[in-house]
Chains A and B, each alone.
Chain A
Amino acid sequence: MTDLLLGAVAYDAKVVPIWDGFREFFTSNGLPFDFVLYSTYERQVQAHLRGEIDVAWNSPLAWIQTDRAARAEGRRAEAIAMRDTDRDLTSIVIVRSDSAIHAATDLRDKRIGVGAADSPQATLIPLASLAEAAIEGRVVRHDVLLGKHGDHIGGERDAVRALLAGTVDAACIIDGNRLAFVREGLIGATGPTAVRVVHQTAAYDHCNFTVLLDPSPPPLLGRFRELLLGMSYEDPKLRPLLDLEGLKAWLPGRTEGYAALERAVDRFATNPVFA
């Protein structure tokens, strides 16, 4: 039987042990499974549309790219599953605690440090959220590994470093990274490296497993989804993989959480800053 072939983007070295481990799980449970790694989501999306992979582990932006391209061809894309941690994220805009900026409206015309140009969480969604409130500043990008859609945390870290160095007035990061950066010692709970949150976006969703239903769904899709959703954090072989991938449980996919990013993509599609 032909393997169910999954595509994932190699945004970090840990991607290899994660998918090697999952491959072992799937195959030992009777699902012929293999994976292909791509250097960028754009390459993965194109390969998916060409039918070279059955399932794509997509960033939210890659989901939108796939969904829109599929629709243009009269095909349907479906988000079949996602991590529990992919649901209801927010992005925040932070300033230094000694900053004169106290409200989002104070950000007008200020230097706003963002992550990579293609990062939904550190660039597109927070900037769109500000723009929808009629707040626009001077965008300072921190392009770490373009094509990875911000999966690499380095862009956000660089934006925060720029904030602390005073080369930007605000920085956009994903909500959970504020605590992560405190643990790293990059920002402090108090003192000169402490930060304040001056804006928080509405909740949105992040990655998903995307399949194309046309011309026909992948033959082994049902078993893949069943095994995926059945993975238990209590399984000692799976737990290290789930920890690496950052989840406790896989959940069914949903797409209503991508509305904010859809609007952001529409808003910035023609903006040369994001070219």
Chain B
Amino acid sequence: METVPLSDLGLDEGAHLLIERGLARCGSIEVQGTAANLAVDLPAWCRARGHAIERTRSGFAIRRGTADRWCGAERAGSIARPVDHAPVRWGLAARGALVEAGAPELDLPLARKQDVWADEAARLYAQAAAAQWDPATAIPWDAPHDHPAEIEDAIVQIMTYLIENETAALLVPVRFLGRLHPQFREVMQLLAIQAADEARHIEVFTRRACLRRDTLGLSTAGGQASLASLFDEPDFAIASFLLSVLGEGSFLSLLWFIRDHAPDPCTREVARLAAQDEARHVAFGLAHLQRHAREDARLCDRLAAAIERRHAALAHTAGLNGEVFDALILLAAGGWEPADLRRGHAAVVALQRTMDDGRRQRLNRLGFDSVRAEALSALHTRNFM
């Protein structure tokens, strides 16, 4: 029997750690100590833990109880990689933790690796964490701007449109985040930081809109109908496809367009930094859908059907509001001269072509052939997102 000397350390000062360490090494121990209340505290402590205790001439003999909380416990996968299907009984346990049997079963239906995982998730998360920027210091809010008032109005309209779309881009992944099994930790972290990105975008677009104006622009029913169709999508793969691959992919082109045509450094920087974040969101969407498509041959058909369904549902809506379209022309024109407007209009037409090219390329990467990619890209919402 091992002797565990407590010296004058009481059970009210942490002595139980020495006793538990002794019992873990050796089922029967003799505890010796001089703490004033040891004779009162030790039997009570043993009773509560199911250990047998007897007084000896030199201390207390303790025999470890047989009740074992960890019987039936199991590892929640391994730290290195997630399992293919995470059971709900692992609950919120960290991946790789030893989970006591009987933990509450949470409603975490996104539990299949095939549906959510991308090998790139950890790298993209690390990249996102390193690339976080502070809106207070990253944007030259005080930079001079001398563009005409009507160009400023156009910028406010574009910002209003961006805020609305970024709100959808925040809320859609967050709804899935709440249903994602934490076994897929890297995806969880990535969706969370994606939401933080969007929160920051909403902040900077709002702040930019309010630099010289105290009201925002217009929000149309058609634009909201397009976003609502994303919001209501219950399938993670389809939502991710419509939002990240097609929507945010198109948004990337739009943000670069704004950066290239912005009349002031502040607007340029807001668009540049947001685009930098959006590129990661698109990369994750593409990565996990590529992986999913490799494992599930029917996925591409489901995705195509989703585009067609959404197109039919939005057929009665106006799509991109005219005010946004016109604001983009004005932004690119930079003035009211006919030649400016012609140039601006051509730039917006080219933007739409660029968006279409990007969508077709991404559809190709998911496994759609060129003909199908072209047809599907043409069905994408006219609201861009």
Residues of A within 8 A of B (CB): 84-85, 87-90, 92, 174-176, 178-179, 182, 189, 196-197, 200, 233-234, 236-237, 239-240, 246, 248-249
Contacts and interface: CB of A to CB of B under 8 A. Distances in A.
A92 B41 CA distance: 10
A197 B43 contact: no
B65 interface: yes
B50 A249 contact: yes
Contact of B48 (A176, A196, A233, A249): A176
Nearest to B35: A189
A234 B72 contact: yes
* Interface SS, A side: mixed
A236 B102 contact: yes
Interface residues of B, number: 25
Nearest to A200: B40
Nearest to A176: B44
Interface of B: 10-13, 36-37, 39-41, 43-45, 47-50, 65, 67-69, 71-72, 100-102
A178 B69 CA distance: 25
A239 B39 CA distance: 29
A249 B67 contact: yes
Contact of B40 (A84, A90, A234, A237): A90
Given A197-B36, A234-B67, A239-B102, 7 more contacts: A84-B47, A84-B50, A88-B47, A90-B40, A179-B11, A189-B13, A233-B67
Contacts of A246: 48
Contacts of B13: 189
Nearest to B71: A234
B72 A236 contact: yes
B116 to A, nearest CB: 28
A147 B39 CA distance: 32
Given A90-B40, A90-B43, A197-B37, A179 B12 contact: yes
B40 A92 contact: yes
Contacts of A237: 102
Contacts of A240: 102
A236 B65 contact: no
Contacts of A239: 69, 102
A240 B12 CA distance: 25
A120 to B, nearest CB: 16
